Amino acid sequence: MTTVPIPAGWPATEEEARAVQDELRGRVVTDEPGPPPGSGHVTGVDVAYDDERDVVVAAAVVLDAAGLGVVAEATAVGRISFPYVPGLLAFREIPTVLAALAALPCPPGLVVCDGYGLAHPRRFGLASHLGVLTGLPTIGVAKNPFTFAYDEPGARRGAAAPLRAGAEEVGRALRTRDGVKPVFVSVGHRVGLDNACAHTLALTPAYRLPETTRRADALCRRALQEAVTRQEPTSR
DNA sequence: GCGACAG
DNA sequence: ATCTTGTCGC
């Protein structure tokens, strides 16, 4: 497994990173409904870190949208390309995630990201950024509301309430399990919000988080352990 | 100025 | 994200 290089010209400062977001945000496509839920491929991507050893591992897991079975998976290993800064998460994850997607043997279809798309300080979160760079339809499903406001949705699975930045609806708080904390869905690229929520519900038949992110999370953690174990075979 | 802040 | 065992509850 080769290590993904940090791209030439990758932002080195927060100021540069914000400038990149401001430049690319205009390329987000929001007037396409996106692929219909329940057909084709749905791919989850996630990343795990070992900041101490400067290792980051990304995983991409392709599921059959109809039965949610695993169709393909891939991982990639890289170096930490940016510190974690709220609002700049994409610069920390994207190089390695792109490599994992590129390593897949089949088209990803809709990509489901851990985090936000348009629900972002500059309306250009990880999911939107990844969508613009790949051209793929993407959505973001986050576990926390970040700085956004929302009213508690109804207690039943399927209930939803707007995720708001002031009066603007930047996403939706969506209940995926009865009585359990909602997830926070936002549009990434080339998908509508209603459709993004429909996909999220289709991907959560049993747990709060989408099967895509659950599978990708488990895979990148496993791969990270293997990567650092190989790095120091006789530590201790 | 201070605190909050996706992963 | 990550550090980390058991435990209460459906």
Task: Give the 3-state secondary structure of residue A26.
Answer: helix
| Any domain includes A18 | no
Q: Annotation-wise, does A31 bind a ligand?
A: no
| Any domain includes A28 | no
State the nearest residue by CA to the C1' of B6.
A115
Indicate if CB(A91) is under 7 A from strand B: no
| Mean pLDDT, chain A, integer | 94
Over residues A187-202, mean pLDDT = 98
| Any domain includes A40 | yes
Protein-to-nucleotide distance from the CA of A146 to the C1' of B4, whole angstroms? 9
Q: pLDDT tens digits, residue range A172-184?
A: 999 999 999 999 9
Q: pLDDT tens digits, residue range A21-56?
A: 999 999 999 999 999 999 999 999 999 999 999 999
The predicted pLDDT at position A234 comes to 53
The predicted pLDDT at position A229 comes to 87
| Any domain includes A5 | no
Q: Which nucleotide is nearest to A220 (CA to C1')?
A: C1
Q: How many domains does chain A have?
A: 1
The predicted pLDDT at position A228 comes to 87
Question: Which bases on strand B have an atom closer than 7 Å to a protein beta carbon?
Answer: 4-7
| Any domain includes A131 | yes
| Any domain includes A80 | yes
Q: pLDDT tens digits, residue range A114-145?
A: 999 999 999 999 999 999 999 999 999 999 99
- Find the CATH number of the domain harbouring A69: 3.30.2170.10
The residues of A between 124 and 153 with beta carbon within 7 Å of nucleic strand C are 143
Show the domain range for A46: 34-228
Number of Cβ within 10 Å of residue A167's Cβ equals 6
| Any domain includes A7 | no
